[in-house]
Amino acid sequence: MEILVCIKRVPDTAENEIEVNRDGTDIERDDLVYSVNEWDNYAVEEAIQIRDKVGGNVTVVSVGDENAEEVVRREMAMGADQGILLSDDVFEGSDGKGVATILKAEIEKGKYDLILTGAQADDGAGQVGGMLAAMLDWPFASLVNKIEISDDKKISVGREIAGGNQEMNEMDLPCVLSIQTGINEPRYVGIRGIRKVASVDIPVHGMGELGLSPDRIGKAGAKVNCLDYFVPDPGEGAEMLEGSTDEILDKLVEILKSKGGIK
Amino acid sequence: METALISPAKAAFLGIPTVIFSLIIPVVGVAVFAYIMAKRLAPLVRALPDERLDRPCRRLVAVLKYYFGQYKHPRYITAGIIHIALFIGFFIISLRSVTLVLSGISEGYHLPGFGGELGAAYDILKDYTVTVMLVVTIVAMIRRGIFKPERYAVPPKYGKDHTKEAVFVLALISGLLISDSFFEGSLAAANLQQGIHSESMVLGTTPWVAALLLSGVSTESLQSIHIGAYFSHELIFFFFLCFLPLGKHFHIITSLPNVFMMKLDKGTVKPVRWGVPDSRLDELKNFGVNKFEDFTWKHMLDFYSCADCGRCSDHCPANAVGRPLSPRFITIKSRDYSFRHYPLLGDFIISNEPLIGNILEEHEIWSCTTCGACEEECPVMIEYIDKIVDLRRYMVEEGMVPQSLQKPLGALEKRGNPYGKMERKRADWIKDKNFADTFKVKVLGNGVKAETLFFVDSVTSFDDRIQHIGRSTARVLRACGIDFGILGPAEMDSGHEVRRFGEEMLFQQLRDKNIEAISSTRAKKLVTADPHAYNALKKDYIGMPEVEHISQVISHALVEKRIRLKPFKEEGRVFTYHDPCYLGRHNGFYDIPRKVIDSIEGLKRVEMGKRCKDRSFCCGGGGLYLFYEPIEEKRMGQVRVEMAAEAGADVIITACPFCMINLEDAVKTSGLEGKMEVIDLVELVDRHLEI
């Protein structure tokens, strides 16, 4: 089975303090560390497990600047067979549809049976997977937490529904799935693993290689444009506790007690 | 010399001279033994290299202390006495056994020099030895077979009970002793009957008892008993010899070399591959232990040397709280695996199957906190930590790392601390308002210099509670008159647990950055309040200046009267000191922290029974262990806090930030909040500084 996983390099929410910059155009990026988007990591693990079970190939692809190569490499260290970086100055400023357009162009160059994306990204809107499927005119399932390969034509996919119940759907290949966290336990990628793939060639495809026209991608092609980033004002009834951890905890306990939350 | 009976060298059985048997039995016995030993050596030859012949003098001292001196045995007093008695006994009667074997070929044989008075004296000593050994063997059989001490039990998941083998071997030993006694006793009885003078029997010994029992038996029967006893001894002797390498009694043969080749550097971790320097690690195809042959030959020898005494698991805190780890069975399972795959008959089964998932489990290997209690107990110096680390190295390579550890490992890679905090906030602990008002700690670099570098490490830099220990350390250092500074944002996690969790390359990355930062300060001395950092700087780093734990600094300052401590005033409080594993067992600081505590006048201190010093009970582990979610019935910290309460203490003093976190948590989860307090040694000193 030929599997393509779309991955994204995002600021690591666990290891950063995210703050909006002064003019509200972006977050403060000076001290940020980046990693592969958590959902995508689950998608790659799932792809590797499917490949190990039924054979085939796993390719990871990322749309981003040259720094995105680092996450492509990391996922190759995890076990993906190939990596492709889709990078071009004109890609910058693409909205969800623009990113889906770029990915679609790459997908059409190959012959894939299964496309996986993360259900959403830490810094995204959770729209690329669906748009990509629509553009390819392939079946799409979102928030997938279970995949069973029936044969080379069909798969069953599951989704958690309310009350912890499970829904199973059958769909034809090729198709696009957006993967939910918790579908598996992603393996650890050690420093040694990354070093082993440090010199593997990762092809970079730009606008030319993908045969894209500049008016459908990047800032020029974006139909949705970001206006502002800001910290919302505290609403009525909201109170920000300040001080050291101990002080905050004391205040919290006091409030909970006074409101009858704890005795 | 005239005797009443015909000796085995001259006798005949059904017309066949028995000397033939005297020749055949030893030849066959030795041949079979050599064959078995060759088979047992086979896996060691296929194993990975190990370097164990350096520092021969220290090794000889170790042999004298741990092997001949039986140094660790009395830690379990009953078993220890039994073992020492049999150990000494075996050395004494081994001469007798050799003499007996050879006298079956050459009548009246004695070892060179044993013909005269020495021989006579030896015979008396030997008779007493045989007697004592027989009594001890019977006591041991009763103990193993009837009383069954708990630590020998085999939980069902680890297979069948081992009592039968133990009792069987004890029976073999008694068989040797009894047959020898009857061989001698029958001759004495016959001599007496015929009025032939022979050396008198030593009163009260087993040969004497045998002679007494046989006094009324006819000479003819005595002749049969004499020869029968001789060949019983001969057969048991060679059967026992060949039986040794088949099970736990292999230790009788392997413990001597095992002790000689013991690990001399406590607290260190073995290199990924012996003989491969760090710079060439990238060339290695794989890391760690995957299949059995990935163990080093010495680690295989460890498996052979285990006497199944259960002392390791009896002291293993992971085992005590119901984690799926029992060090004893790491060894037993591996030995069984080795015996199965290197059978005495038939082809070797060389398999590439991984040990993890086959005979070992992932959680079993992650359960170890590397506290070292098992290694401290082992009488034959079997190693566990290095094996566990090697198994983890393989798991890390395969990506088999618990989810709970992946985040902190990722954060260590990106931020140099397991919490994912920003590097630039690493020195924020010195900015605490009350502290900063009175004290400005130097951040070294950019021209700022100091004689001593205080290596803070991640937990003290970022954990709210532990930052207090950091500030106390700073105040105490100042009081001691030490010019010191910290690395601040340039400091990385020491990587102590990163290495012990098997992520060697990440450890080396952290270490190399730290070495560079430390070297650039040109500090002459390193001080830390964290035993894990201390151990890393001292044992894992190369080319560091002298490293001291804060307890040493305080101790020197007290001796040199640079600081004085105020008396303790509160009535009715009882303190106990909890030895952190990496200060105590791995670095041998037992008395220094106690002396520091005892220098506070009026402070009452008790010990937690036997569970102190090198028998301290791990709090649950430091560094990455704070993130690991083990399978367990109870938390180690809770067990430890209960030990303190039982000792009658209401304050636990420790000298390690991780012990503080684990024990303070345990105080809360044990419902002892308000009744039990935990304090770090340096905080205690800080509170009592006379300024």
At residue B654 the predicted structure's pLDDT band, cuts being 50, 70 and 90, is very high
In the predicted model, is pLDDT for residue A242 greater than 90?
no
Q: Would you call B16 helix, strand, or coil by DSSP?
A: strand
Distance (Å, rounded) from C-alpha B459 to C-alpha B619? 16
Q: Which whole number is the average pLDDT over A176-193?
A: 96
A231 pLDDT tier (thresholds 50, 70, 90):
confident
Structural domain contains residue A24 = yes
Task: State which of B527, B559, B591 marks the end of a domain.
Answer: B559
B286 occurs within a structural domain: no
Q: Are residues A119 and A203 in the same domain?
A: yes
Cβ A33–B414 below 8 Å, yes or no?
yes
Give the pLDDT band (50/70/90) at residue B685.
very high
Do B64 and B176 reside in the same domain of the chain?
A: yes
- Has residue A229 been placed in a domain? no
Residues A260 and A145 in one domain: no
Mean pLDDT value of segment A150-154: 89
In this structure, is residue B260 part of a structural domain? Answer: no
Q: Is B605 inside any structural domain?
A: yes
Q: Give pLDDT, residue A31.
A: 84
Of B282, B411, B504, the CB nearest to A15: B411
The two tokens of residue B120 are: 């006579």
Rounded CA separation B623/B494 (Å): 10
Same domain, A63 and A179: yes
Question: Residue A109 domain-assigned?
Answer: yes
- Tell me which residue in B410, B505, B509 faces A35 most closely, judged by beta carbons: B410
What pLDDT score was predicted for residue B200?
63
Is the pLDDT reported for residue B116 higher than 90?
A: no
In terms of domains, do B394 and B426 share one?
A: no
In terms of domains, do B393 and B428 share one?
Answer: no
B380 lies in the same domain as B525:
no
Which residue shows structure tokens 């009837």? B146
Chain B residues touching A197 at Cβ < 8 A: none
Distance of alpha carbon A174 from alpha carbon A155, whole angstroms: 9
Structure confidence at residue B2 as a pLDDT band (50, 70, 90): low
Per residue in B578-630, pLDDT (tens digit) is 999 999 999 999 999 999 999 999 999 999 999 999 999 999 999 999 999 99
Taking residues B635-657, report their average pLDDT: 97
Residue A231 falls within a domain, yes or no? no
Q: How far, in Å, CA of A254 to CA of B663, rounded?
A: 26
Total structural domains within chain A: 2
pLDDT in tens, B478-488: 999 999 999 99
| CATH (domain of B580) | 3.40.50
Give pLDDT tens digits for B379-413: 999 999 999 999 999 999 999 999 999 999 999 99
Which of B397, B407, B422 is nearest residue A190 as measured by Cβ atoms? B397
Query: Closest by alpha carbon to B514, among B444, B425, B442?
Result: B444
Residue B434 has pLDDT above 60, yes or no: yes
Are A213 and A244 in the same domain? no
Point out the residue among B399, B411, B413 whose CB comes nearest to the CB of A191: B413
Phi, psi of B412 (to 5 degrees): -65, -40
Say what the pLDDT of residue B196 is. Answer: 81
Q: Same domain, yes or no, for A165 and A53? A: yes
Question: CA B32 to CA B464: how far, in whole Å?
Answer: 66
Closest CA of chain B from A211, distance in Å: 37
Structure-block tokens of residue A130: 């669906």
Q: What is the CATH number of the domain that holds B320?
A: 1.10.1060.10
pLDDT exceeds 80 at position A7: yes
Say yes or no: B461 and B357 in one domain.
no
Interface contact flag, B397 A193, Cβ < 8 Å? yes
* Nearest-by-CA chain A residue for B416: A15
Smallest Cα distance from A166 to chain B, Å: 24
Chain A residues interacting with chain B (CB cutoff of 8 angstroms): 12, 14-17, 31, 33, 35, 78-79, 185-193, 195, 244-246
- Asked if the model's pLDDT at residue B198 lies above 80, the reply is no
The answer to the question of residue B279 being in a domain is: no
Q: How confident is the model at residue A232 (pLDDT cuts 50, 70, 90)?
A: confident
Whether residues A252 and A149 share a domain: the answer is no
Please report whether residue B154 resides in a domain. yes
Q: With 80 as the cut, is the pLDDT of residue B691 above it?
A: no
Q: What is the pLDDT of residue B629?
A: 94
Question: What confidence tens digit (pLDDT) does each residue in B304-353 have?
Answer: 999 999 999 999 999 999 999 999 999 999 999 999 999 999 999 998 89
Check whether A209 has a pLDDT greater than 70: yes
pLDDT bin (cut points 50, 70, 90) of residue B40 is very high
Question: Which candidate, B291, B319, B300, places its Cα nearest to that of B391?
Answer: B291
Judge if B25 and B99 occupy the same domain.
Answer: yes
Residue B647's domain spans which residues?
A: 574-687
Residue pair A86/A102 in contact by the 8 Å Cβ criterion: yes
Query: Does A251 lie in the same domain as A140?
Result: no
pLDDT of residue A261: 78
DSSP-derived letter for residue A187 is P
Contacts of B505 in chain A (CB under 8 A): 190-192, 195
Amino acid letter, residue B178:
I
The answer to whether the Cβ–Cβ distance between B282 and A17 falls below 8 Å is no
User: What CATH number should be reported for the domain holding residue A161?
Assistant: 3.40.50.620
Provide the number of structural domains found in chain B. 4
Q: What is the pLDDT of residue A234?
A: 81
DSSP B74: G
Residue A226 lies in a domain: no
Whole-structure pTM value:
0.94
* Residue B165 three-state SS: helix
Chain A residues close to B503, C-beta within 8 Å:
190-191
Alpha helices (runs of H) in chain A, residue ranges in sequence order: 38-54, 69-78, 96-109, 128-136, 191-196, 207-210, 218-221, 245-258
pLDDT above 90 (res A29): no
pLDDT given at position B1? 56
Instruction: Write out the residue range of the structural domain in which residue A247 sits.
Output: 236-263
Collect all residues of chain B within an 8 Å Cβ-Cβ radius of residue A248: none
Residue pair B200/B189 in contact (Cβ under 8 Å)? The answer is no
Does the beta carbon of B399 lie under 8 angstroms from any beta carbon of chain A? Answer: yes
Q: Do A113 and A57 reside in the same domain of the chain? A: yes
Beta-strand runs (E) in B375-516: 442-443, 452-454, 484-486
From chain A, pick out residues whose CB is under 8 angstroms from the CB of B410.
12, 14-15, 35
pLDDT value of residue A246: 82
Q: How far is A44 from chain B (nearest CA, A)?
A: 13
Enumerate residues 6+ apart whose C-beta is below 8 A from B52.
B260, B261, B298
**In Å, how far from its chain's centre is CA B194?**
58
Tell whether A228 is covered by a domain: no
The one-letter amino acid code at B167 reads: V
Which of B415, B498, B661 to probe the A interface (max A CBs under 10 A)?
B415
Q: CA distances (Å), B62 to each of A200, B67, B383, B539, in order?
A: 50, 7, 15, 21
Same domain (yes/no): A247, A132: no
**Same-domain status, B55 and B116:** yes
Subunit contact A12:B282, Cβ cutoff 8 A: no
Strands A154-161 and A140-149, by their bridges, are: antiparallel
**pLDDT score, position A260:** 82
Q: Does B287 contact A192 at a Cβ distance shorter than 8 Å?
A: yes
Residues B47 and B163 reside in one and the same domain: yes
Ordered DSSP codes for A15-72: S----B-TTSSSB--TT--EEE-HHHHHHHHHHHHHHHHH--EEEEEEES-GGGHHHH
Please indicate, yes or no, if residue B285 is contained in any of the structural domains: no
Contacts of A244 in chain B (CB under 8 A): 464
Q: Are B246 and B34 in contact (CB under 8 A)?
A: no
Q: Which of B413, B468, B629, B668 to mutate to probe the A interface, most A CBs <10 Å?
A: B413
Residues A215 and A244 in one domain: no
- Taking all residues of chain B, what is their mean pLDDT, rounded to a whole number? 95
Averaged pLDDT, B220-247: 96
- Residue A124: the pLDDT is 87
* Residue B525 falls inside a structural domain: yes
Do A240 and A185 have their domain in common? no
| Among the ranges given (A214-218, B600-604, B650-654), the one the predictor scored with the smallest mean pLDDT | A214-218
Same domain, residue pair B426 and B548: yes
Note whether A214 and A249 are same-domain residues.
Answer: no
Instruction: Kindly report the backbone phi and psi dihedral angles of residue A168, in degrees, each rounded to the nearest multiple of 5, phi listed first.
Output: -120, 140
What's the pLDDT at A233? Answer: 84
pLDDT at A212 over 90: yes
- Whether B52 and B165 map to the same domain: the answer is yes
B545-to-B447, B523, B541, B548, B573 alpha-carbon distances in Å:
19, 8, 10, 10, 40
DSSP string, B171-194: HHHHHHHHHHHHHHHHHHHHHHHT
The C-alpha of A115 sits at a distance from chain B's nearest C-alpha, in angstroms, of: 24
For residue A80, which residues of chain B lie inside 8 Å, CB to CB? none
Q: Would you say residue A83 lies in a domain?
A: yes
* Distance in angstroms (rounded) separating the CA atoms of residues B365 and B387: 9
Whether residue B408 lies inside any domain: the answer is no
What CA–CA distance (Å, rounded) separates B370 from B582?
A: 9
Per residue in B138-148, pLDDT tens? 999 999 999 99
Side-chain half-sphere CA neighbours of B66 within 13 A: 24
User: What is the predicted pLDDT for the residue at B202?
Assistant: 83
Give contacts of B 496-515 with A, CB under 8 A. Answer: 503-506, 509
Contact B364, B372 (CB under 8 A): no
* Statement: residue A154 has pLDDT above 70: yes
Span B122-139, pLDDT tens digits = 999 999 999 999 999 999
Whether the CB-CB separation of B549 and B525 falls below 8 Å is answered with no
Which residues in A lie closer than 8 A to residue B504 (C-beta atoms)? Answer: 192
